[in-house]
Amino acid sequence: MRHQRTIKREVEIEGRGLFTGEPCRLRFKPAPPNSGIWFVRTDQPAPVAIAARVENVSKRARRTTLKNGVASIETIEHCLSACAALGLDNLQIEVRGGEVPAMDGSSLPFLDTLKESGIEEQDAPGEVYVVRELARVAEDDAEIVALPPLRADDERLEVFYDLDYGAETPIGRQTYRVTITPEDFETKIAPARTFVLEKEVQQLRAMGFGLHLTYQDILVFGEDGPIDNPLRFPEECVRHKILDLIGDLFLLGRPIVGRIFARKSGHSLNHAMVRALLDKERERKEAERLRRPAVYDVRHIQRLLPHRYPFLMVDRIVELEGSRRAVGIKNVTINEEFFQGHYPGEPIMPGVLIIEALSQLGGVLLSQELEHKGKVAVLLSLDKVRFRRPVRPGDQLLLEVQSLRARSNIGHIQAMARVGSELAAEAEIKFILVDAEPQ
């Protein structure tokens, strides 16, 4: 069984940002199990924490940037690539500055610094993401494809990258394949430096980027090859693209097990692959939920709720975690009475009835928490209601509610309804518990 990992002691690294040239200091600190990897801007009036997750990515050209409110941290991919290679799960990275130091343009300084601190296994199981089916993202002639591992017992990531800058450039076409292990990453990938064409340098400097850099600080390719800076590998450019890809993929939040084929991809497409893999995982989990036997069937639900056809909107409950969370199913069919009068030529389930279904599931959840005899949950208020997609006949609504607060006579829940992996509606719902009418 894989265990989670962090570092043994605090270590620091400092330098200037690749694009901005601003000085920056990173302090790597151990973090407890299940906390994940966070950047913390300690140079702000109040420290701002930003999780190293794809949902915090802010769109930038030629680099990966994380943002939380007005605070951001630029060019994090080389640092995250080293974290991924070492299998780190939990780490706090305090940052004084807006851009991670460029160092020599590779991951090696970050890798050496983290190794200097020592790596420590923690008393908690480590989770991985195993690619179970093909996923593909593409943009123009660039693409990334994720595939399952060739063997069920292989717990590594294999990357094949096809880089093609065109025959008219000194970089040309380069391909490289590597299986990511700490040892191979250190010797084959980590030393590969970021690179740029000489004509691109002029464009970037015109935009105010990289004004502090010399030819010794970054690989600049002129017509005859690198200018005043010898290559570390014949195919250093494609190796660096793999380095970037590994760092970007780590924004999934877990190590990835499987095979990745990338052709001419950049940061935005790398991020799109992370989102695609997370979507695949959500779809798989939701499909598993739909196949689960009912915790409560409709007969049990009718004993808990004062609703009957045609206003009983929950067909079965498939998950019930005490008083914290419940997941239910509503099968939407053309036989629903409301379809006769609600857009009959283009049937759409009324949004208020989606909220009603969520409210009914919330009532079941509250019955677990409050355990009142002779009480029913009555809708008190709705807040932050959003409708994201239409629900049509044939759809299967996956309803999920989570308790936010509960008191003796008030309940407050967060509710979401999905069709497949797509969010259909969401709301915060409050209930008041009142005495039931005698039967």
Domains annotated for the chain, with CATH where assigned, are: 3-287 (3.30.230.20), 298-435 (3.10.129.10)
**Active site residue: 212, 300, 342, 372, which one?**
342
Q: How many CB atoms lie within 10 A of CB 97?
A: 21
Report angle CA 122, 123, 128 to the nearest 5 degrees. 70
The CA distance from 160 to 346, in Å, is 47
pLDDT tens column, 70-100: 999 999 999 999 999 999 999 999 999 999 9
Cβ neighbours of residue 431 under 8 Å, at least 6 residues apart? 359, 362, 363, 366, 377, 378, 379, 380, 410, 411, 412, 413
Query: Number of helices (H) and strands (E), helices first, in the chain?
Result: 8, 25
Q: What is the DSSP string of 234-294?
A: TTHHHHHHHHHHHHHHGGGSS-EEEEEEEES--HHHHHHHHHHHHHHHHHHHHHHHHHSPP
Question: Does the annotation count 267 as an active-site position?
Answer: yes
CA dihedral for 232, 236, 241, 243, sign (positive or negative): negative
- What is the per-residue pLDDT for 370? 55
Percent of the chain with pLDDT over 90: 75
> Tell me: the pLDDT tens digits for 250-303?
999 999 999 999 999 999 999 999 999 999 998 888 778 777 788 899 998 988
Could you tell me the pLDDT band of residue 438, with boundaries at 50, 70 and 90? low
pLDDT at 160 over 70: yes
Tokens standing for residue 27: 């302090």
Percent of the chain with pLDDT over 70: 97
Which helix (H) or strand (E) element contains residue 117? helix 108-117
What is the average per-residue pLDDT within 145-164?
95
Distances (CA, A) of 437 to 119, 257, 375, 376, 377: 63, 57, 9, 9, 12
Residue whose token pair is 């004062």:
306
Query: How many Å apart are CA 66 and CA 51, to the nearest integer?
Result: 8
Query: Is residue 107's pLDDT more than 60?
Result: yes
d(CA 95, CA 37): 13
337-382 pLDDT tens trace: 899 888 888 899 999 999 999 999 998 888 775 554 456 778 899 9
| End-to-end CA separation in angstroms for the chain | 56
> How confident is the model over 209-245, as pLDDT tens digits?
889 898 998 899 999 999 999 999 999 999 999 999 9
What 3-state class would DSSP assign to 69? coil
What is the pLDDT at residue 369? 59
Single-letter residue type at 230: P
> Which residue out of 267, 271, 307, 412 is catalytically annotated?
267
Task: Assess contact for 366 and 433: CB atoms under 8 A.
Answer: yes
Q: Distance between CA atoms of 345 and 339, rounded to whole angstroms?
A: 9
Q: What tens digit of pLDDT does each residue of 132-143 get?
A: 999 999 999 999
Q: Clarify whether 342 is annotated catalytic.
A: yes
Q: Which residue has the tokens 């305090």?
A: 94
